[in-house]
């Protein structure tokens, strides 16, 4: 159970981080940006505090679930839970302290929400929020280091805090955008006043992040050759995406300040801010995964070389036929056997799964491009191609499990990778059905039109929060490299389609190029995927 408990703990930690951002970051945004401009009674303040309350109680529930999951994951063969032994650990005790401080902060934020005009309530919320944030410093890798413990704790804390304020402020801007009356003159002022705070957060988190990363990654070989290193690299790419969108916002705000047309600021910027939020939440997911991954400097195993990483991604002859059932059933590792490496037949079948999926995704993306270019009217039915893809995936995704294998459907679900593969293989079904109804008009003007981009984000989230590196073997790490690439392009595909749907028409052509191009990139990563 320890793998499944570990996987759920990372997911819950990621959700808790988003909740902490909405509550702590939202509070800082109110104090430094919104209240000075609009006063306590503005509907934006109520909207941000409401989101903050939802955030803090979500974080508290997630932290409680993580504490309860741990003894379950450590359960003995006789199914007894080592609860007292677990509660005796420093980590469990600090987790309980953080949980308690979270509840106190939640109460302070709820009290503030009831009467935002009482200055004492802002002070109380601020003080309890700070204590809650500080308590996280005893729950990061730094505590277990042999050297530089205090500088690493402070740097990780500064990194986290700056990240929570940036992400929380972007959550707050989205909430304010939703709460504002049309052409609200406050909106551009909010953006202008937020810009220096945003820049200070970015500078602080990058400086602290690089300090921590140099200590935990150690050298260039580990940056590209270990799981921890690759996740830091993926964070840098997602940070670049978020900063590109933030730069767009900054550009439009500056044009407004120079007397430019407030229309663009009012109609376009809220959409770019939504996309920026998506990229930032994706980075937070990676932050939660990093917190649960052993630093590269602790790993003594072999690093994959740059050449091996490039070879993993490089074009090669795809495997478009599966190994025979006889050959596979004669030589395969059970999906419940976490520590035994995959057999040659398992790898052959996994290569077939990924390569054939890549080919189908390239076909789907190709027809979508025909539709975008208005070359053929029938091409608007491109989402229907996801249905045979989804059916094929359900059959081949777990070759030793249901429906073709002898391990059944439920037993293999103890393996987090099986859970993720089963979940991931359902995504094409929903994307296909919903997006077809959007493309053919039935759902084009309903909230369902956001299904496709939302499922792209969900797929990316599943990939960003899971690791295959049970045994730390290089082969497993190389699998991770492809998955990290697929996750990044899934975020880009979602952002492209989200902007295409949300930006006032005609949406820039670039948005269509971004999502169809990202779908194709995922297709190529899958087509050339190879387990060695
Ligand atoms: C230059 C870019 C960045 C670098 C080098 C970096 C590096 C790191 C490293 C090494 C850790 C793990 C610390 C540990 O193992 O204890 C970490 C954690 C984290 N990062 Fe970053 N990061 C970067 C950007 C970001 C951004 C843009 C965000 C969010 C907006 C972010 C949010 C987080 C969070 C929330 C954690 C803490 C997870 C936890 O322990 O609870 N990082 N980062």
Q: Which domain holds residue 519?
A: 306-527
Q: Are 316 and 384 in a shared domain?
A: yes
279 alpha carbon – ligand 1 mean position (Å): 14
Ligand 1 and 213: CB distance under 6 A: yes
490 alpha carbon – ligand 1 mean position (Å): 20
Helix segments in 180-219, DSSP class H:
186-217
pLDDT at 181 over 60: no
Dihedral angle sign, alpha carbons of residues 358, 359, 363, 364: negative
pTM of the model: 0.90
For the chain, the distance separating the N- and C-terminal CA atoms, rounded to the nearest angstrom, is 27
- For residue 336, the surrounding DSSP H or E stretch is none
422 alpha carbon – ligand 1 mean position (Å): 29
Q: Are 163 and 238 in a shared domain?
A: yes
Q: Are 270 and 339 in a shared domain?
A: no
pLDDT at 149 over 60: yes
Ligand 1 and 239: CB distance under 6 A: yes
Boundary-marking domain end, from 301, 318, 334: 301
314 alpha carbon – ligand 1 mean position (Å): 29
What token pair was written down for 234?
């993926």
Write the residue with the smallest CA distance to atom 20 of ligand 1: 287
Boundary-marking domain end, from 266, 301, 336: 301
pLDDT band, very low/low/confident/very high, at 411 (cuts 50, 70, 90): confident
Q: Are 297 and 242 in a shared domain?
A: yes
213 CA closest ligand 1 atom index: 10
DSSP, collapsed to helix, strand or coil, labels residue 3 as helix
What token pair was written down for 419?
């859970």
Write the residue with the smallest CA distance to atom 27 of ligand 1: 239
pLDDT at 465 over 90: no
- For residue 97, is it within any domain? yes
202 alpha carbon – ligand 1 mean position (Å): 12
**Pocket test residue of 156, 208, 235 for ligand 1, highest count of atoms within 8 A of CB:** 235
**pLDDT number for residue 407:** 80
Q: Are 249 and 314 in a shared domain?
A: no
Ligand 1 and 218: CB distance under 6 A: no
- For residue 107, count CB atoms less than 10 angstroms from its CB and return exposed for 0-12, middle for 13-18, buried for 19 or more: middle
- For residue 107, is it within any domain? yes
| pLDDT, greater one: 266 or 49 | 49
337 alpha carbon – ligand 1 mean position (Å): 32
Alpha carbon distance 400, 491 (integer Å): 31
Q: Are 311 and 291 in a shared domain?
A: no
pLDDT band, very low/low/confident/very high, at 109 (cuts 50, 70, 90): very high
Ligand 1 and 208: CB distance under 6 A: no
The total of structural domains in the chain comes to 3
Q: Are 296 and 316 in a shared domain?
A: no
- For residue 108, is it within any domain? yes
- For residue 226, is it within any domain? yes
- For residue 68, is it within any domain? yes
Quick check: 191 and 253 in contact, CB under 8 A? yes
**Pocket test residue of 55, 209, 210 for ligand 1, highest count of atoms within 8 A of CB:** 209
265 alpha carbon – ligand 1 mean position (Å): 30
- For residue 532, is it within any domain? no
**pLDDT number for residue 473:** 65
Q: Are 248 and 357 in a shared domain?
A: no
Ligand 1 and 232: CB distance under 6 A: yes
pLDDT band, very low/low/confident/very high, at 470 (cuts 50, 70, 90): low
Q: Are 194 and 254 in a shared domain?
A: yes
228 CA closest ligand 1 atom index: 10
209 alpha carbon – ligand 1 mean position (Å): 6
- For residue 144, is it within any domain? no
| pLDDT, greater one: 374 or 180 | 374
Q: Are 75 and 153 in a shared domain?
A: no
159 alpha carbon – ligand 1 mean position (Å): 6
Percent of the chain residues past pLDDT 70, beyond the cut: 94
What token pair was written down for 531?
């387990």
Ligand 1 and 166: CB distance under 6 A: yes
Question: Tell me, what DSSP letter sits at residue 22?
Answer: I
Ligand 1 and 209: CB distance under 6 A: yes
Quick check: 468 and 476 in contact, CB under 8 A? yes
Side-chain-facing half-sphere of 195: CA atoms under 13 Å? 16
**pLDDT number for residue 303:** 80
**Pocket test residue of 134, 157, 163 for ligand 1, highest count of atoms within 8 A of CB:** 163
Q: Are 504 and 407 in a shared domain?
A: yes
Tell me the per-residue pLDDT of 321-354, one tens digit each, with 9 for 90 and over.
998 888 888 887 776 666 566 788 888 988 998 9
Ligand 1 and 291: CB distance under 6 A: yes
238 CA closest ligand 1 atom index: 27
What token pair was written down for 125?
């919320």
424 alpha carbon – ligand 1 mean position (Å): 26
**pLDDT number for residue 176:** 86
Boundary-marking domain end, from 95, 118, 139: 139
Q: Are 249 and 384 in a shared domain?
A: no
Ligand 1 and 233: CB distance under 6 A: no
- For residue 340, the surrounding DSSP H or E stretch is none
pLDDT band, very low/low/confident/very high, at 524 (cuts 50, 70, 90): very high
């Amino acid at each position: 159970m320890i793998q499944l408990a570990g996987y759920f703990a990372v997911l819950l930690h990621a959700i808790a981080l988003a909740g902490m951002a909405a509550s702590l970051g939202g509070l800082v945004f109110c104090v430094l940006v919104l209240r000075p401009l609009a006063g306590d009674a503005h509907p934006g303040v109520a909207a941000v505090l409401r989101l903050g309350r939802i955030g803090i109680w979500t974080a508290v529930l997630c932290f409680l679930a993580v504490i309860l999951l741990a003894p379950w994951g450590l359960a003995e063969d006789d199914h007894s839970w080592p609860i007292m032994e677990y509660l005796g650990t420093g980590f469990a005790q600090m987790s309980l302290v953080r949980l308690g401080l979270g509840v106190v902060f939640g109460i302070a934020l709820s009290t503030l929400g009831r009467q935002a005009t009482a200055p004492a309530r802002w002070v109380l919320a601020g003080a309890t929020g700070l204590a809650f944030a500080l308590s996280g410093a005893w729950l990061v890798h730094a505590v277990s280091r042999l050297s530089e413990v205090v500088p690493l704790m402070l740097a990780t804390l500064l990194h986290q805090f700056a990240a929570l304020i940036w992400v929380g402020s972007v959550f707050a801007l989205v909430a304010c955008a939703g709460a504002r009356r049309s052409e609200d003159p406050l909106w551009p002022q909010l953006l202008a006043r937020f810009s220096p705070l945003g820049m200070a957060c970015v500078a602080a988190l990058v400086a602290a992040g690089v300090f921590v990363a140099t200590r935990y990654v150690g050298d260039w070989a580990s940056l590209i050759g270990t799981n921890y290193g690759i996740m830091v690299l993926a964070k840098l790419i997602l940070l670049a995406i978020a900063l590109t969108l933030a730069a767009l916002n900054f550009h439009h705000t500056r044009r407004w300040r120079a007397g430019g047309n407030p229309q663009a600021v009012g109609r376009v910027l809220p959409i770019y801010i939504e996309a920026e939020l998506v990229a930032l939440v994706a980075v937070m997911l990676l932050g939660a995964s990093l917190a649960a991954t052993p630093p590269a400097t602790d790993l003594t195993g072999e690093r994959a070389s740059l050449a091996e990483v490039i070879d993993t991604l490089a074009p090669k002859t795809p495997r478009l036929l599966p190994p025979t059932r006889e050959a596979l059933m004669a030589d395969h590792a059970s999906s419940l056997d976490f520590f035994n490496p995959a057999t040659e037949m398992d790898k052959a079948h996994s290569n077939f799964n990924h390569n054939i999926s890549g080919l189908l995704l390239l076909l789907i993306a190709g027809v979508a491009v025909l539709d975008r270019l208005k070359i053929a009217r029938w091409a608007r039915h491109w989402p229907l191609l996801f249905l045979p893809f989804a059916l094929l995936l359900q059959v081949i995704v777990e070759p030793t499990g249901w429906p073709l294998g002898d391990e059944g459907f439920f037993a293999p679900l103890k393996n987090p990778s099986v859970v993720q593969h089963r979940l991931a293989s359902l995504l094409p079904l929903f994307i296909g059905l919903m997006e077809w109804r959007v493309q053919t008009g039935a759902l084009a003007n309903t909230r369902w039109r956001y299904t496709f981009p939302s499922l792209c984000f969900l797929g990316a989230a599943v990939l960003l929060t899971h690791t295959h590196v049970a045994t730390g073997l290089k082969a497993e790490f190389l699998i991770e490299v492809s998955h990290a690439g697929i996750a990044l392009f899934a975020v880009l595909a979602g952002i492209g389609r989200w902007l295409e749907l949300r930006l006032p028409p005609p949406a820039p052509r670039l948005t269509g190029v971004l999502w169809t191009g990202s779908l194709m990139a995922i297709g190529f990563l899958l087509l050339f995927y190879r387990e060695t």
